[in-house]
Amino acid sequence: MRAAVVSRFGGPEVVEVVETAVREPAAGQVRIKVAAASLNPADAGVRSGVFGGAGRQLGLGWDVAGTVDAVGDAGGAWSVGDEVVALDPGLLKPLGTHAEYVVVDSGAVAAAPRTVGAVAAATLPLNALTAVQALDLLELVPGQSLVVTGAAGAVGGYAVQLAVRLGVSVTGVAREGDEELVRSLGAGEFVSGEVGAGSVDAVLDAAVLGEPALAWVRDGGAYAGVIPQAQPGSVRGVRTGAVEVSADGGRLAELVRLVDEGVLTTRVAETFALDDAAKAHARLAEGGVRGRLVLVP
């Protein structure tokens, strides 16, 4: 099969598509024939060496939408032919979802949405799970106030919609030109600059602003980042943490249901053939992408 990998670090040009063996699923795993897989900033980090792993082949891709192709022993409720989505987490793995086939744990899998196609469905697992698991860290209750930074981005956009559904008052922080988009996602307030110091109960910092965003949280509030172990230290009694996203098929199924109910909006910026993975990385590096770039084998 073909798979996008890096064997050295650098810019988009180091991404190569190689031929490699198709893996067989072990007990408790399923193999998915990939229909679509989104490109995320984490993949750019792997490509550029941010997370280490020099001297070995590293696979790219966390999200997948496709069809179950083979099932290992004790593969759960999944059968060959099922249309599914899944998260294949891990920064330093030999193969990822940017491939023709991927093997994942059966517990990471959920039935695909009925209301959107595979390309749109592929934008859901990593970003929506990151958003909902970050909200879990904040432990918000209805009526509290939340700032979401990077509210026009993939994680931030899902976070806005999920928080509004919880009954939380949301202020979205993004570029001035994104106000219409952010408000359409449900944000009651929009800010393109600074938020008042100590003015909100919590911040979900999808834009990774760090300490400046922490300053917006009231004493005793909460801050959640999206890069593991990279959150600022606690001050003024503010709880700080960062989500380390984990595969969770049950939770992913809930998010799929919200897509089908129209609560969550999937956004695709552009599609690329798997063989053009390097071009997709170059487009991501240009910036200004609203929605996800998606690779199609």
Q: For the domain that residue 67 is a member of, what is the CATH number?
A: 3.90.180.10
Structure tokens at 87: 């998260």
Q: Indicate whether 261 belongs to any domain.
A: no
12 with 112, same domain? yes
Rg (CA), the chain: 19
Q: Indicate whether 35 belongs to any domain.
A: yes
Q: Report the pLDDT value the prediction gives residue 131, as an integer from 0 to 100.
A: 98
Q: Indicate whether 257 belongs to any domain.
A: no
Q: Report the pLDDT value the prediction gives residue 40, as an integer from 0 to 100.
A: 96
Q: What angle do CA 78, 93, 225 make, to 5 degrees?
A: 90
CATH (domain of 169): 3.40.50.720
102 with 54, same domain? yes
Helix (H) or strand (E) holding 146: strand 145-149
106 with 167, same domain? no
* Per-residue pLDDT tens over the stretch 244-289: 999 999 999 999 999 999 999 999 999 999 999 999 999 999 988 8
Q: Report the pLDDT value the prediction gives residue 288, as an integer from 0 to 100.
A: 85
Q: Indicate whether 107 belongs to any domain.
A: yes
- CA 26, 27, 33, 34 dihedral sign is negative
Q: Report the pLDDT value the prediction gives residue 75, as an integer from 0 to 100.
A: 62
Q: Report the pLDDT value the prediction gives residue 188, as an integer from 0 to 100.
A: 97
Using alpha carbons, select from 266, 273, 279 the residue that is nearest to residue 297.
273
279 with 238, same domain? no
**3-class secondary-structure state, position 243:** coil
Q: Report the pLDDT value the prediction gives residue 27, as an integer from 0 to 100.
A: 94
**3-class secondary-structure state, position 116:** coil
Q: How many domains does the chain have?
A: 2
11 with 110, same domain? yes
Q: Indicate whether 281 belongs to any domain.
A: yes
218 with 237, same domain? yes
Q: Cα–Cα distance between 99 and 101 in angstroms, integer?
A: 5
Q: Indicate whether 252 belongs to any domain.
A: no
* Per-residue pLDDT tens over the stretch 177-191: 999 999 999 999 999
Helix (H) or strand (E) holding 255: helix 249-260
Q: Report the pLDDT value the prediction gives residue 74, as an integer from 0 to 100.
A: 74
Q: Indicate whether 116 belongs to any domain.
A: yes
88 with 40, same domain? yes
Range of the domain at 144: 127-242
Q: Report the pLDDT value the prediction gives residue 61, as an integer from 0 to 100.
A: 98
Percent of the chain with pLDDT over 70: 100
Rounded-to-5 percentages of helix, strand, coil across the chain: 30, 30, 45
88 with 101, same domain? yes
> Do 125 and 34 contact (CB within 8 A), yes or no?
no
In the predicted model, residues of the chain with pLDDT beneath 50 are none
162 with 232, same domain? yes
53 with 78, same domain? yes
Q: Report the pLDDT value the prediction gives residue 64, as an integer from 0 to 100.
A: 98
116 with 75, same domain? yes
Dihedral over alpha carbons 159, 164, 170, 174 (to 10 degrees): 40
58 with 149, same domain? no
